[in-house]
Structure 1
């Protein structure tokens, strides 16, 4: 069975991407695609929810099971269901000039295969997109674009690569660690804990993080803490010392020192609106 809903591409071109169609395939034991190619800025996103299938990648074939999926851009597509255990898949046909920059290195591959196991939000977004597409309501266009953006970010931040080489896989792991640091910068994050997240030694993590992100882990972490402190300085009346502790600095004096180096003024001067003067 093939169920599909289509939407007109909006004239507004500021969306990174937009779901032009969404569909559901099941009970099709001969379903396969062999060589279809899309134009640039068009993408084909699939999610396996039941059964098994296969996918051809530059590193060889990948067996696809529930909780796995893939994304094609302007490369020939080769995938299909298993005849013995036909899959059930949901697919989204996407267009957008901003998708390439959003996807980064994923867009340059022949295909990006991923696992979203245990991420319930992924399929919840797909089902919500399906429900909105049924409405055929132009007022839902912004929400459709926003949901697609959220879906892609969920995959970029939390899905694991199935077809990545060792170096690409490590690069993805480091960037996931960086995102973890950004979201949890106020916590105590010793190097050992961050290295454990990547399943590598602290020394290797530190070196690889520097190569991937351009700065050492502590520098990156302090930057995230400073950014959080700036929000608190502008939005609250909490004392500087209290903010220093809340954003993860154990010593307020060290916080003030790092803040001045980063912003050119003290936290108090920043709060009073002197930040632009301090940068002259």
Structure 2
């Protein structure tokens, strides 16, 4: 039985310091798939008073604006560091140790990602680059990459049943790499990375992934089984298999579905469930993306001339 994951204290602090707790106009939606590493914060009436500072926390909150804010003021300690209009896609990299507070008199809708210093250090270590001791990004400036990744995270909040843990970990890993590179002003390169997984590691990783065809396994668990950090494992896996773990796993699901379509009379909805897809629509999208044809048509073409199959 899995040990329940505790909600990080940062989210309780945000709810309390921003007066969101028990507010009828506020909503905080946390991602359980990502061990509560990000959330959507939404309030329809704004906050009439200055928020209290967040105390005793470390790491960063990466805040992505999902709707434009007419006016916002951000303070680190007692110093105002930003004031004005934030457009859709604007990003703020807020260092929690500096005790941030803000004034948000208008309605807002934002995606907030909690990034730990340990996660950033792991990226730097795996890429053999200097550690980043501070993320710097002009407050309120649009970042297209964070905006794009943020839409994927947002989709997982709205449709968690269609998203796997291992894919979420992949997206968050990509975000952390971008933060180290663009916000930490460090160049990440694969030129010095030549190693892949050992045969034993490759076998252990694929065994674990195939045992969780639905992707309901954290990337960290697979990495630990290979005695590697998450970042090093992700790079080694891609070096070995020419694709990231979530993409490799998706292809295995589709391969299993093809076998069932050819060798059984099961309807596609049942095949989708047996192969770890959320539903038949998810199978259809993935199959078409890989093979360029709908699974039902592929089945008919492959079995043309034989008895009819339920679809």
Q: TM-score range by the shorter chain?
A: 0.3 to 0.5
Higher relative contact order (CA 8 A, sep 6+): 1
